Chains A and B, each alone.
With several copies, the nearest count.
Chain A
Amino acid sequence: MDTSLVINNLIHPPVLFFFLGMIASFCKSDLKIPEPLPKLFSLYLLLAIGFHGGVELRKTGLTHEVVFALSAAMFMAILVPFYAFFILRIKLDVYNAAAIAATYGSISAVTYITAVTFLQTLGLEPGGYMVAALALMESPAIVIGIILARIFAPKKENGEDGFSWSAVFQEAFLNGSVLLLTGSLLIGLASGEEGWDTLKPFTKDIFKGMLSFFLLDMGLLAAKRIGDLKSAGFFLPPFAILMPVLNGCIGVILAKLIGLRAEDALMLSVLCASASYIAVPAAMRLSLPEANPSLFVPMALAITFPFNIIVGIPLYYYLIKRANALFPALLG
């Protein structure tokens, strides 16, 4: 693997701020970004990428390629929680297996953004419509996770367990981050180029700065959560690294099969490989209260997220390049 790719990824300011956050936390510095400032950054990032994606999607239109990419994304969002669930059942009870499966079936918007940034340093720009894939992949895993839990969980004595599908769909499709991302995408779609000119200084120019600030905080949070995994045993930490690699590789193959450009192939792989630490944990806490959030939150936040932004992104890109070199015929 080309180490210059890794290094190139690492010395990019946003990623460096992530390290700064981790270091600060390991040194027990009192640096902290008090609540609700992290929420300001995360809301901003969702709004900005949703809006940008919508504007791009309007430019591209629903081409052949877009439809293929979105279908592949949707397919993976449904597939991943299934096999993740059965792998996890080897060691875990139904509830935790379902919650972690949902976590890995869904996505992390910040991992997505970091991959875009990685491409930009190489002078490339992924199709903005991949943001639609991002939006599409956030919710299904939540629903699949809960379906799996209900199928395999031991039946409760008394039938009445206060469960309601409408609450699940509410949580899956109307939670804050999904709604803001999708809504901003639709607003971008509706307002097009003209709207873009209006908001560009806000949604594009200061974007990398806001991302750096947010990654600084993510570094602080990730380092803080690592300790929670001490009691998690020997199974979950490796899972939190191998699962994204597996998902990312399947993403690479799928992208190859449907003939995506290398840029878009990377975005698809990264979406498959990333795990949710915002929308899914919150939904699971309400819909699967039997699952332990001290397992799935630190896995996604403290292992998979850093792994992806440090090693994963250049790795998946390297694999895509290799695949394209080995099987050029499939292209074009």
Chain B
Amino acid sequence: MKPVSKVEIIIDALEVEHVTKFLNEIGVSGYSIINDVVGKGHRGVRSGDALTDLFKNSYIMVVCEEKEMHMIVEAIRPIVKKFGGLCIVSDVIMRIHRKSE
């Protein structure tokens, strides 16, 4: 039972690798990704393209310490600014984690 931060990022599917590279560098304990997220934003409707991976978003969730959260936000800020999407943060309680607690 530990208060932690939940970072949620919605970003161009093609930038996911870019973001996970940063997450690995920062050394977060883990992250989860949901692909095939569609949506609408400043760049209009993004409902996927059946032939390429264009016009599609991914959702990345990282549960981490507050300190790490700040590092993540700073690291991905330029990517999100450039390729759109958003990053929101909220406080959650980590109830079960494999090796921590």
Contacts and interface: CB of A to CB of B under 8 A. Distances in A.
Q: Are the chains A and B members of one assembly?
A: yes
Interface of A: 33, 35-36, 38-39, 42, 217, 221, 277-278, 281-282, 285-286, 289, 293-294, 297
B54 A297 contact: yes
Interface in B41-89: 43-44, 48-55, 82-83
Given A286-B14, A289-B82, A289-B83, A217 B50 contact: yes
Interface of B: 14, 36, 43-44, 48-55, 82-83
B51 A42 contact: yes
Contact of A285 (B14, B36, B44, B82): B14
A38 B51 contact: yes
A148 B89 CA distance: 41
Give the interface SS of chain B, mostly helix, strand, loop or mixed.
Answer: loop
Given A285-B14, A286-B14, A289-B83, A35 B48 contact: yes
Q: Is the interface of A mostly helix, strand, loop or mixed?
A: helix
Contact of A297 (B36, B43, B49, B83): B49
Given A285-B14, A297-B55, 12 more contacts: A36-B50, A221-B49, A277-B51, A278-B51, A278-B52, A281-B54, A285-B54, A286-B14, A289-B82, A293-B55, A297-B49, A297-B52
B48 A282 contact: no
A39 B49 CA distance: 10
Contacts of A33: 50
Interface centre among B14, B48, B51, B83 (most CB of A within 10 A): B51
12 contacts: A39-B51, A42-B51, A217-B50, A221-B50, A221-B51, A277-B51, A278-B52, A281-B54, A285-B14, A286-B14, A297-B49, A297-B55
7 shortest interchain CB distances as A-B pairs: A38-B50, A282-B52, A278-B51, A293-B54, A35-B50, A281-B52, A285-B54
A289 B49 CA distance: 17
Contacts of B55: 293, 297
A282 B54 contact: yes
A176 to B, nearest CB: 10
Contacts of A221: 49-51
Contacts of B14: 285-286
